[in-house]
Amino acid sequence: MRYRNFKATVLLVGLMSLSGVLTLIFLAREKFIGYERHSNHYYQQYLTDKMALFKRSALDEDNECRQTKRNEINVELTHSVYQFYCEQSSFFIGNLPSKKTVVFEQISDYLRLNETIPITQINTLAELPPTSPTEPKIVVVTQDIDEKLTRDFYGILITQHYFNLKNGAKMYGVLYTTQESDKSNRYVTYSREVVKYFDEHYSIWHFLPYSRNLLHAK
């Protein structure tokens, strides 16, 4: 009789243990399934945002860099944040000019000129556009100059010809010339304000390659 009771007790304990193990397995399975569903949900969201990025190009990033003029840009997508970085290329190549005259062989070695930058061409000083310290201009001189200014000029003058200002008004900014003899002209005065204007207004912001990141939304 005692043996039968012991056997029944062992069986009952075994069944209870088995039930407990099965319950744990079931709960673990439900937890795993829930985790898988959660992971799949976020993966689908990730794919959705990833597909949205495929529609963008480096040109889109370049345009955004030029418009915002910031080093770091964050774009809010449906489920995440698209992050990329921008880099500024100064209008002046190398160091900012610190003297009134720069002698050059190729102007492209010193200035980043492009079709978006307004440039005026003149044959005589009478054709110079109106300027001011807050609105300087870039002017290319296409002929020899040996005359005087009738009003002060603020900006950058670029010439490959003889250039001499006579007694009169002054030029404030930087003269870029191919002629060594033009360096001593006393009616040309260096202007840090003009240099700063061009650096701020005509420096180019562009997309920094390989800087894309897809981050979880906060």
Q: What is the pLDDT of residue 12?
A: 59
Residue 116 resides in a domain? yes
Tokens of 166: 């006579």
Residue 111, CA distances (Å) to 160, 190, 203 in order: 15, 17, 10
Q: What is the mean pLDDT of residues 168-185?
A: 87
Residue 145 resides in a domain? yes
Residue 60 resides in a domain? no
Residue 75 resides in a domain? no
Whether residue 44 is predicted with pLDDT greater than 90 in this model: the reply is no
Tell whether 195 and 116 lie within a shared domain.
yes
* Angle, vertex CA 178, rays to CA 101 and CA 200, nearest 5: 45
Residue 184 resides in a domain? yes
Is this prediction's pTM over 0.75? no
Whether residue 182 is predicted with pLDDT greater than 80 in this model: the reply is no
Whether residue 140 is predicted with pLDDT greater than 60 in this model: the reply is yes
Residue 198 resides in a domain? yes
Q: What is the mean pLDDT of residues 63-69?
A: 88
Exposure letters 32-54 (e unless 16+ CB within 10 A, then b): eeeeeeeeeeeeebeeebeebee
List, in sequence order, every residue forming a beta bridge with 207; answer none if it has no partner: 86
Domain, as residue range, for 45: 1-55
More confident residue, 218 or 75: 75
Least confident segment among 5-14, 51-60, 151-160:
5-14
Tell whether 193 and 133 lie within a shared domain.
yes
Tell whether 41 and 133 lie within a shared domain.
no
Tell whether 36 and 113 lie within a shared domain.
no
Residue 74 resides in a domain? no
How many domains, the chain? Answer: 2
Mean pLDDT of all residues belonging to the chain: 83
Least confident segment among 52-61, 138-147, 152-161, 188-197:
52-61
Least confident segment among 77-81, 134-138, 150-154:
77-81
Tell whether 113 and 168 lie within a shared domain.
yes
Residue 157 resides in a domain? yes
Q: What is the pLDDT of residue 105?
A: 95
Q: Which pLDDT band holds residue 113 (cuts at 50, 70, 90)? A: very high
